[in-house]
Amino acid sequence: MKILVIGGGAAGMMAAVTAARLGSEVSIYEQNEKLGKKLFITGKGRCNLTNASDRDTHLAAVVSGARFLYSSQTRFDAAATMDFFEQLGVSLKTERGQRVFPTSDHSSDVIRALEYELKRLGVRIFLNTPVKELLTEEISGEGLTVEELTQEDAAKEEKKKSSGKKLSKCIGKITGIRLSDGSKVMADKVILATGGISYPLTGADGSGLAMAERSGHTVTKLYPALVPLTVAEPWISQLAGLSLRNVSVLIREGKKKLYEGFGEMLFTHRGVSGPLILSASSYVTTHFEPSGKGGDQAEKLLLQIDLKPGLDEETLDKRLIRELEEAKTKQVKNMMGSLLPSGMIPVVLDMAGVPAEEKACDVNKQQRRALLQTLKSFSLTINGTEGFDQAIITKGGVKTGQIDPATMASKLVKGLYFAGECVDVDALTGGFNLQIAWASGFAAGNAAATEGEKI
């Protein structure tokens, strides 16, 4: 079987190794000068390559596409990923939150192991080689239009899923690829593993998604996810660099709760970031323009930060009364150190309308109540995201309804497979996104090497 893999990232390399181990003749086409450019910067250069938790935890961390991923994640789970890399000689360690890293803390070790295995298996690697087009031909007699097929699929999919039958209608079959110099490379199977459009400097330019679209697939609207959020309050820059641990946040649109969570966050020059906010962003990003930029016209969401989630209002009020009494003639700003990091104190006092220089014993009940409210609900107005340049992941991609979840095969073009972030799936941080890349790459490589007849 002659298989071409477009994209030498995590998913593409896993697909290529898997297919080559099954005896296929495999080539990878990568537009960058090296393989795994995005993989290199993952986990701040340490590569959080999976999460040592069970399948249900993985699926719970998937924001879009959990049902679709059930099959591939069951077949190739976190334990399989760890075995795979350990067998390639990459020693692994598990850290807080079950995050798995190479013991060396170097993502380059993960890339090197994959490259070594690709070379050992005789996979041909073409670097600096952008693929421009998928070559397909119509299958005569089965010529349904995409619209017809999509409508039919929607109705039939549910029924067929339960009977275990595969959808058989295709509008074409793959014959190969065209490169940027115009040359054609013919093949039996093609695996598209071109990633999303976040961190464009790593090669994520959306060209793969455009090719998928031109071959008849639907690409859903793309949004930046796991991305810092911007806020409307101009004074936010005063807090830039300050991080908060053990806070809870609530994001709402009017009365509707969009996200609730607990953890660590930090302030940036234009807004908020950190693990808790990145997770939150995956649930709110679709409220903003994909370009991410906020502004007067942008939708506004309310971010409420509970700075003291461990204390209910009554307990916190009692503590404030006690501390104000004990501090007596001290300025109120000097008694807040036990409650807040120093950088937050002037902003919180200002928001509560309590003069920072006021003596603790002069703080009246109304001011104390305002302080209590601000500590329990420090509110900001989210007006956008930092966009794809700073997004860890792309939300959106090739529509999952057009892909067989067990094999990652296109339902529209025979012999075409998808793997990784180019598909409309996304997950939270913690190694879950790379696990999607490994598992879908494995499924695609396996199916491409074993499914159907040689063309």
Ligand X SMILES: Cc1cc2nc3c(=O)[nH]c(=O)nc-3n(C[C@H](O)[C@H](O)[C@H](O)COP(=O)(O)OP(=O)(O)OC[C@H]3O[C@@H](n4cnc5c(N)ncnc54)[C@H](O)[C@@H]3O)c2cc1C
Binding footprint of ligand X on the chain (CB under 6 A): 6-12, 29-32, 37-39, 41-43, 47-48, 130-131, 193-195, 198-199, 202-205, 207-208, 392-393, 420-421, 431-434, 437
Q: How far is the CB of 316 from ligand X (least distance, A)?
A: 36
Q: How far is the CB of 375 from ligand X (least distance, A)?
A: 33
Q: How far is the CB of 30 from ligand X (least distance, A)?
A: 5
For residue 257, the cross-strand partners are 252
Residue 438 and residue 292: Cα distance in Å, rounded?
Answer: 29
Q: How far is the CB of 425 from ligand X (least distance, A)?
A: 10
Q: How far is the CB of 204 from ligand X (least distance, A)?
A: 5
Residue with tokens 């170097």: 106
Question: 149 vs 225, which CB is nearer to ligand X?
Answer: 225
For residue 263, the cross-strand partners are 247
Question: 11 vs 354, which CB is nearer to ligand X?
Answer: 11
Question: 16 vs 354, which CB is nearer to ligand X?
Answer: 16
Q: How far is the CB of 203 from ligand X (least distance, A)?
A: 2
Question: 130 vs 290, which CB is nearer to ligand X?
Answer: 130
Q: How far is the CB of 401 from ligand X (least distance, A)?
A: 19
Which residue in the shown chain puts its C-beta closest to ligand X? 9
Question: 339 vs 391, which CB is nearer to ligand X?
Answer: 391
Question: 133 vs 233, which CB is nearer to ligand X?
Answer: 133
| Inter-residue contact 220 to 424 (CB < 8 Å) | yes
Question: 195 vs 216, which CB is nearer to ligand X?
Answer: 195
Q: How far is the CB of 406 from ligand X (least distance, A)?
A: 18
Question: 11 vs 170, which CB is nearer to ligand X?
Answer: 11
Q: Around Cβ 146, how many Cβ atoms within 10 Å?
A: 14
Angle at the Cα of 445 (from 442 to 449), degrees rounded to 5?
A: 140
Question: Could you tell me which residues come within 8 angstroms of residue 217 by beta carbon, excluding any fewer than 6 positions away?
Answer: 398, 399, 402, 410, 412, 413
Q: How far is the CB of 392 from ligand X (least distance, A)?
A: 4
Question: Could you tell me which residues come within 8 angstroms of residue 40 by beta carbon, excluding any fewer than 6 positions away?
Answer: 107, 108, 111
Question: 320 vs 437, which CB is nearer to ligand X?
Answer: 437
| Inter-residue contact 35 to 115 (CB < 8 Å) | yes
Backbone angles phi, psi at 184, to 5 degrees: -105, 145
Q: How far is the CB of 85 from ligand X (least distance, A)?
A: 13
DSSP code per residue over 191-205: EE----SSSGGGT--
Q: How far is the CB of 116 from ligand X (least distance, A)?
A: 18
DSSP code per residue over 282-330: HHHGGGS-TT----TTS--EEEEEES-TTS-HHHHHHHHHHHHHHHTTS
Question: 59 vs 370, which CB is nearer to ligand X?
Answer: 59
N-to-C CA span, the chain: 9
Overall size of the chain counted in residues: 455
Angle at the Cα of 382 (from 380 to 384), degrees rounded to 5?
A: 155
Residue 427 and residue 278: Cα distance in Å, rounded?
Answer: 11
Residue 455 and residue 174: Cα distance in Å, rounded?
Answer: 9
Question: 102 vs 172, which CB is nearer to ligand X?
Answer: 102
Strands 223-225 and 426-427: unpaired
Q: Is 214 left (phi over 0), alpha (psi -120 to 50) or beta?
A: alpha
